[in-house]
Amino acid sequence: MQLLLSPNPGIVSMLMQPENLPVLRDAIGLNNFFVPGADDVDKQWAEIQQLIASQPIETGDTLNPYATSVEIDVLMDTHPIQFEICRKWAISEVGQFYKYSHPDEYQNVLLHAKQHLDAMNTGGMPQEGNPEINGAQNQEKPKQLSNKDAPITGDINVPTVS
């Protein structure tokens, strides 16, 4: 309780990290107290276990040759929390072990984290034309509008698709 009342912002920040909130809840004795984000933390740790038990999937795309073996849930995931858990895993002792001894599995987690980051940067929606996010491949560039004279009516500078 004294730590919670600490005027030190570093201590308060540390206590409020998503993965520390359930521990804090239990320490205070609020066992039935809902902790926002706790389910996201648990879900992401479970997904990391799946990710390191498999390898990235080859896409055949030259721009994004690999995709994560565990897709994010664009609509339901809380992307900032889940990205942060992936980031913390990647820089942890275990993550660093995987980086050098199991690079494919490590890359699988990074690809998954990048999906969360991309979802955060696009407001939670998939990026069009990014096969890593939504499975789209070989997206054509949108056709450009140009101004031409209309052949039948004779109108000048009518926008047309080229």
- Closest among 66, 75, 84, 77 to 126, alpha carbons compared: 75
Contacts of 40 (CB under 8 A, 6+ apart): 18, 77, 78, 81, 82, 85
pLDDT tens track, the chain, 162 positions: 677 677 778 877 777 777 777 777 777 777 777 777 888 988 999 999 999 999 999 999 999 999 999 999 999 999 999 999 999 999 999 999 999 999 999 999 999 999 999 999 997 654 443 444 334 344 444 444 455 544 454 555 545 544
Element (H, E) at 159: strand 158-161
What sign for the dihedral angle of Cα 66, 71, 76, 77?
negative
pLDDT of residue 28: 77
Give pLDDT, residue 76: 94
* φ, ψ dihedrals at 35, nearest 5°: -110, 110
Give every CB contact of residue 64 below 8 A, 6+ residues apart in sequence. Answer: 130, 131, 132
Residue 33, C-beta contacts closer than 8 angstroms, at least 6 positions apart: 25
